[in-house]
């Protein structure tokens, strides 16, 4: 019946029964038995069917606290489950809002905005102060990677009293948060603010250290009681098409990192970024990273822009076979596309299309791309529908800059080989399901390196659960 048994007192029982009857009838009849009762019960967990996506924030509790003006209590309930609401309040797509029962009668509760308001108000009021542990356990832990999962593991293990050192190969702490997400989407001052707080609480950060290259894996294992690998899924998926080696074709992650680093280092004065000014830009991939490339290219002054998506365009509104609380399979227009529409007068996305060939000029620079339309066809060998080329549908477009945002394939091999880790078929680090211990003694893993490319909120969840497992391995029990 959910976490909050007080909701189901005799006083409230009749009210809840009435609510159940009303919301049950709002669900389409074929889905009433499956979802109707979930609306009634799970609303008070704040998620409906979407708790599995998140860290199980106590949303009803901090909703009530903000409603009554008790902002300090709202912060205390928020930090109980989420150590980084200043990040998730800005970059998380918030599936919890999709699962909110208010969707049945109108708009959901603005959980994302409320979460951000709580944490920023806590900083402004001085409620957030360094809280170093009173007692140290004498145990040492090395964390490799300072993205959201690595920071989360560090936060919880340091709270527990272990001595934590975080190794980061880049020049700044933050991993994906720092260099994978553009500054206009997540200003880096918020990351730096949190990192400084963690340092005051005792976490040690070592930047510019590439474990597996600058530091040997065996040395790290000898020096620390436990090692946690949170290196992300940083192997970009490539596009196999003739002309791929032409100049002017980049992976999205390299493009975004160069732009953010140049901005932070010199406000672009050093020119150490991939310039899109006055260029015809083509982004391959329709996910969040592709959208970030669209937004960044526009802000850097591109001449034109198209974004390729292999799949058909989703409907603008829910269809009858996609009722709440299922994930809405609808077309999402994000900030990048919105800015493209404002600048160029049209949506940059071209659906059911892929690259057949990159065409270079005499200098070896990409100047055109041959595109081809796709359609869904059943493939007997694969046993499923695939997107196949439409014969005779090829056409060319002018292109000076190509950004490949086709997702990621898993962890980078030099790290996994250095530690001798077993991998899954998807090249993620292999563990027993539901656990974080690898096949190597004292070595654990969490985040995208463990589960594959995913959301920041999932990285936080993985980091929190991994910290508990590491703590138990070190102490024999855990109170995390």
Q: pLDDT by residue (tens digit) across 68-110?
A: 999 999 999 999 999 999 999 999 888 888 877 777 777 788 8
Q: What is the mean pLDDT of the chain?
A: 88
Q: Which residue has the tokens 């832990």?
A: 141
- 438 DSSP assignment: -
Report the pLDDT value the prediction gives residue 7, as an integer from 0 to 100: 33
Alpha carbon 329 to chain centroid distance?
A: 19
More confident residue, 235 or 83: 83
More confident residue, 318 or 395: 395
Question: Who's near 272: CB < 8 A, 6+ residues apart?
Answer: 258, 261, 262, 265, 266
372: pLDDT strictly greater than 90: yes
Q: pLDDT by residue (tens digit) across 25-46?
A: 444 444 444 444 444 344 444 4
The stretch 322-334 carries a mean pLDDT of: 87
Q: How confident is the model at residue 56 (pLDDT cuts 50, 70, 90)?
A: confident
Report the pLDDT value the prediction gives residue 454, as an integer from 0 to 100: 87
Q: What share of the chain has pLDDT > 90, as a percent?
A: 73
Q: How many CA atoms lie within 13 A of 400 on its CB side?
A: 12
pTM of the model: 0.88
Q: How confident is the model at residue 270 (pLDDT cuts 50, 70, 90)?
A: very high
471: pLDDT strictly greater than 90: yes
57: pLDDT strictly greater than 90: no
Report the pLDDT value the prediction gives residue 342, as an integer from 0 to 100: 97
The stretch 238-246 carries a mean pLDDT of: 96
CB 470 within 8 Å of CB 230: no
SS (H, E, C) 156-175: HHHHHCCEEEEEECCCCCCC
- Crossing angle of the two packed helices 148-160 and 456-475, in degrees rounded to 10: 30
More confident residue, 469 or 103: 469
The stretch 460-468 carries a mean pLDDT of: 96
Q: What angle do CA 133, 175, 262 make, to 5 degrees?
A: 125
More confident residue, 368 or 2: 368
- Lowest model confidence (mean pLDDT) among 5-19, 29-43, 100-114, 122-136: 5-19
Q: What share of the chain has pLDDT > 70, as a percent?
A: 89
């Amino acid at each position: 019946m959910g976490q909050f048994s007080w909701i189901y007192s005799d006083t409230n029982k009749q009210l809840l029964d009435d609510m159940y009857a009303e919301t049950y009838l709002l669900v389409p009849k074929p889905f009433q038995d499956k979802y109707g009762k979930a609306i009634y019960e799970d609303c008070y967990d704040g998620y409906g069917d979407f708790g599995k996506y998140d860290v199980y924030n106590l949303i009803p509790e901090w909703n009530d606290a903000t409603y009554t003006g008790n902002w300090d209590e709202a912060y205390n309930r928020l930090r109980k489950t989420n150590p980084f609401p200043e990040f998730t309040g800005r970059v998380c797509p918030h599936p919890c809002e999709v699962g909110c029962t208010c969707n049945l009668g109108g708009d959901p509760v603005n959980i994302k905005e409320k979460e951000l308001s709580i944490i920023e108000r806590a900083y402004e009021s001085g409620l957030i102060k360094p809280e170093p542990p009173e007692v140290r356990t004498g145990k040492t832990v090395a964390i490799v990677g300072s993205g959201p999962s690595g920071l989360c593991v560090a936060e919880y293990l340091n709270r527990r009293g272990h001595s934590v050192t975080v190794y980061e190969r880049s020049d700044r702490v933050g991993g994906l948060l720092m260099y994978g997400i553009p500054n206009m989407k997540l200003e880096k001052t918020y990351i730096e603010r949190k990192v400084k707080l963690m340092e005051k609480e005792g976490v040690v950060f070592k930047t510019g250290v590439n474990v597996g290259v600058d530091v040997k894996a065996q040395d790290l294992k000898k020096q620390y009681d436990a090692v946690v690998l949170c290196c992300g899924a940083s192997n970009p998926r490539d596009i196999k098409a003739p002309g791929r080696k032409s100049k002017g074709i980049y992976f999205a992650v390299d493009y975004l990192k160069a732009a953010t680093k140049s901005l932070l280092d010199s406000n672009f004065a050093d020119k150490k970024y991939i310039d899109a000014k006055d260029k015809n830009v083509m982004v391959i991939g329709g996910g969040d990273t592709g959208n970030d490339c669209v937004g960044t290219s526009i802000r850097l002054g591109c001449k034109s822009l198209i974004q390729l998506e292999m799949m058909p365009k989703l409907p603008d509104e829910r269809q009858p076979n996609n009722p709440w609380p299922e994930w809405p399979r609808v077309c999402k227009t994000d900030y990048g596309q919105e800015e493209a529409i404002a600048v160029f007068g049209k949506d940059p996305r071209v659906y059911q299309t892929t690259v057949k060939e990159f065409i270079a000029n005499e200098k070896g620079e990409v100047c055109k791309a041959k595109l081809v339309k796709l359609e869904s066809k059943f493939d007997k060998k694969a046993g499923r529908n695939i997107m196949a080329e439409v014969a005779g549908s090829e056409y060319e477009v002018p292109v000076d800059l190509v950004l490949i945002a086709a997702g990621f394939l898993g962890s980078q091999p030099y790290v996994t080989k250095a530690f001798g880790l077993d991998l899954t078929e998807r090249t993620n680090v292999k563990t027993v399901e539901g656990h974080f211990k690898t096949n190597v003694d004292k070595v654990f893993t969490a985040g995208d390196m463990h589960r594959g490319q995913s959301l920041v909120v999932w990285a936080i969840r993985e980091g929190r659960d991994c910290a508990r497992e590491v703590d138990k391995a070190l102490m024999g029990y855990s109170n995390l």
